[in-house]
Structures are given as structure tokens and as C-alpha cells.
């Protein structure tokens, strides 16, 4: 005896913007509008390196002045001086990696970088993305997100594997709010989370991100500033001109008193 199964075809809903927004009103439509002409079709990015153009589509966390997330926008939108001058502010991190000799790992940004190319800076500087694992409205959640972002970018820029920089080894010190132009078109306006980590790591540098690296002692870094032959990123100079060397002095003893600051340091 045989049986016959009848399969009933169900009509699939039409996937249109109107239908989706009706079903999911919580969707943020701004990013889709901002990136409609992204990548090589974007006149603002014409002539830049293709990989760096692609990274300009990443989603940054847009903030109010108290570091509360209010939405998301592309990296490109967040770094245009036209938008920065209107007050657009986003979240970032600056990671400082020290080896077992307490030397700080510096990097020189690649020529291909759209913002601040060729400048020397701290180990890794970037942004937590507007995704569940890297964002947060409370300070605790935001710190956790920036640590995950730092681990991700240390690998992407310098080839440092996550196993060599465990999340729990990152130390959060403070946040700085600063604004700095790169050129007439691009710049930074960030609440920047300062992270320290001590680890001996293996480097496999991504040349599209980093053109050189160097380990330095405090005295060597001070001499580099004094000689004036090299150019440094504005956020790195701000940090070094304020608390950096005091933090460094207490790297192995007493750093706890500088950690987990709740107030934002305004450096505008």
C-alpha cells in the first residue's frame, strides 16, 4: 500500500522596505541611507585605498556628550569634519601594550590610512562597533565592549592573536573627550577609552594598516618627542602630555588607583 503526501506551498511575503519597517519598527534606517553611495561609488572616498574605503562602512557608536549611545553611523560619516563641526561624536579606544620589560609598543600608521596617515601613535587605536558585543549604555558594558574591540583590532592590524591578549588582562583607566582635525576633510571627535595591557606578543603586521612598529622605554619616547623629527597622532600626544608617564611609572605597582575612572576627562 502506498501513500501520497501533499505539500502545500505557502505564499512568501514580499520583502520590501515598507513591509520590513512595518514589521520591525525598531530598525535604524539612517545607516542604510548614509551608506547608499558607499565604497568606490562615494565621491568623498574617491582615490583612496580600496581596503580603507571598505573599512569606512563600519558602524560606529554615536554618542551624546556624556557617552550615552544615541544611534549608529558609518565610520565615514563620523570622521567627516563637516559633521564633526556640527557636534557628531562617537566612541573609540586607545590600547597601550607593554612587553615584559615594560616597553610600550608603538605603531606608525600606514600611508593608505584615510585619517592621520604616516603618523606614529600608541599600539592600537580604533572603534568599538555598533554591534551587541561591542556597545553598551552602562560604563561596565561599554568597557567590556571596547576590550573586545581592542582584541579584534590588535589581530586585524598587528596580527596579535586573542590567546596572547586575553580579555581579562586589559585594564581600563579612563575616558578622554577630544576633537582633532586630520586635514580639511577628515578628523576625530571621540570619547576615547584608554586601555592598558601587558603581554609578550608575536607580530604579523598588516601593511595596509601599519608601516612600522617600535618598542620604547619612557625615556626613549620622551626623546622622540624632544627631537621633533617624527609626527604623532593628536590623541597620543594629548595622553602623553597629561597622565601617560605617571601611569607608566605605576604599571607594575599602584596602577589600580588610576583605573576605572567614572568621570570623562575633557581635552577639547
Q: Which has the closest alpha carbon to 215: 143, 152, 158, 131? A: 158
Which residue out of 60, 78, 124, 125 is catalytically annotated? 125
Has residue 10 been placed in a domain?
no
Q: Which residue has the cell 603618523?
A: 119
Q: Does some domain include residue 163?
A: yes
> Residue 4: inside a domain, yes or no?
no
d(CA 72, CA 61): 5
Residue 158, domain member (yes or no): yes
pLDDT band of 6, cuts 50, 70, 90: very low
Number of neighbours of residue 245 by Cβ within 10 angstroms: 14
Assess whether 125 carries a catalytic annotation: yes
* Domain assignment present for 13: no
pTM of the predicted structure, to 2 decimals: 0.86
| Strand 120-121 versus strand 104-109 pairing type | antiparallel
Conformation bin of residue 44: beta by default, left when phi > 0, alpha when psi is -120 to 50 = alpha
Catalytic: 60?
Answer: no
Q: Is residue 107 domain-resident?
A: yes
CATH of the domain at 72: 3.90.79.10
Q: How high is the pLDDT of residue 26?
A: 54
C-alpha 69/C-alpha 56 separation (Å) is 20
16 pLDDT band (50/70/90 cuts)?
Answer: low
Answer yes or no: is 21 within a domain: no
The number of domains in the chain is: 1
Catalytic residue among 134, 157, 188, 190: 190
* Strand (E) or helix (H) holding 109: strand 104-109
Q: Does residue 3 sit within a domain?
A: no
Is the CB of residue 208 less than 8 Å from the CB of residue 200?
A: no
For residue 53, give its domain range.
29-263
Residue 37 has pLDDT above 60, yes or no: no
Average pLDDT, the chain: 88
What pLDDT digit, counting tens, does each position of 208-229 carry? 999 999 999 999 999 999 998 9
Q: How far apart are CA 32 and CA 210, in angstroms?
A: 30
Higher pLDDT, 131 or 1: 131
Amino acid at each position: 500500500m502506498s501513500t501520497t503526501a501533499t505539500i502545500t506551498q505557502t505564499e512568501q511575503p514580499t520583502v520590501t522596505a515598507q513591509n520590513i519597517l512595518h514589521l520591525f519598527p525598531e530598525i535604524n534606517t539612517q545607516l542604510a541611507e548614509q551608506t547608499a553611495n558607499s565604497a568606490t561609488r562615494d565621491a568623498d572616498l574617491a582615490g583612496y585605498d580600496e581596503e580603507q574605503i571598505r573599512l569606512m562602512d563600519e558602524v560606529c557608536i554615536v554618542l551624546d556628550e556624556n557617552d550615552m549611545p544615541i544611534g549608529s553611523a558609518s565610520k565615514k560619516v563620523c570622521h567627516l569634519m563637516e559633521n564633526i563641526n556640527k557636534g557628531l561624536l562617537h566612541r573609540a579606544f586607545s590600547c597601550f601594550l607593554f612587553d615584559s620589560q615594560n616597553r610600550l609598543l608603538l605603531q606608525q600608521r600606514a600611508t593608505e590610512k584615510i585619517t592621520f596617515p604616516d603618523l606614529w601613535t600608541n599600539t592600537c587605536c580604533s572603534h568599538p562597533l555598533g554591534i551587541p558585543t561591542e556597545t553598551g549604555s552602562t560604563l561596565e558594558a561599554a568597557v567590556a565592549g571596547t576590550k573586545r574591540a581592542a582584541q579584534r583590532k590588535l589581530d586585524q592590524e598587528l596580527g596579535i592573536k586573542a590567546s596572547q591578549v586575553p580579555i581579562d588582562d586589559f585594564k581600563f583607566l579612563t575616558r578622554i573627550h577630544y576633537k582633532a582635525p586630520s586635514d580639511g576633510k577628515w578628523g576625530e571627535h571621540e570619547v576615547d577609552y584608554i586601555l592598558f595591557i601587558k603581554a609578550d606578543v608575536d607580530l604579523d603586521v598588516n601593511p595596509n594598516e601599519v608601516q612600522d612598529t617600535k618598542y620604547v622605554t619612557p625615556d626613549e619616547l620622551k626623546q622622540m618627542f624632544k627631537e621633533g623629527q617624527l609626527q604623532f597622532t593628536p590623541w597620543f600626544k594629548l595622553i602623553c602630555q597629561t597622565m601617560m608617564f605617571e601611569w607608566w611609572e605605576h604599571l607594575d605597582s599602584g596602577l589600580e588607583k588610576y583605573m576605572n575612572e567614572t568621570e570623562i576627562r575633557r581635552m577639547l
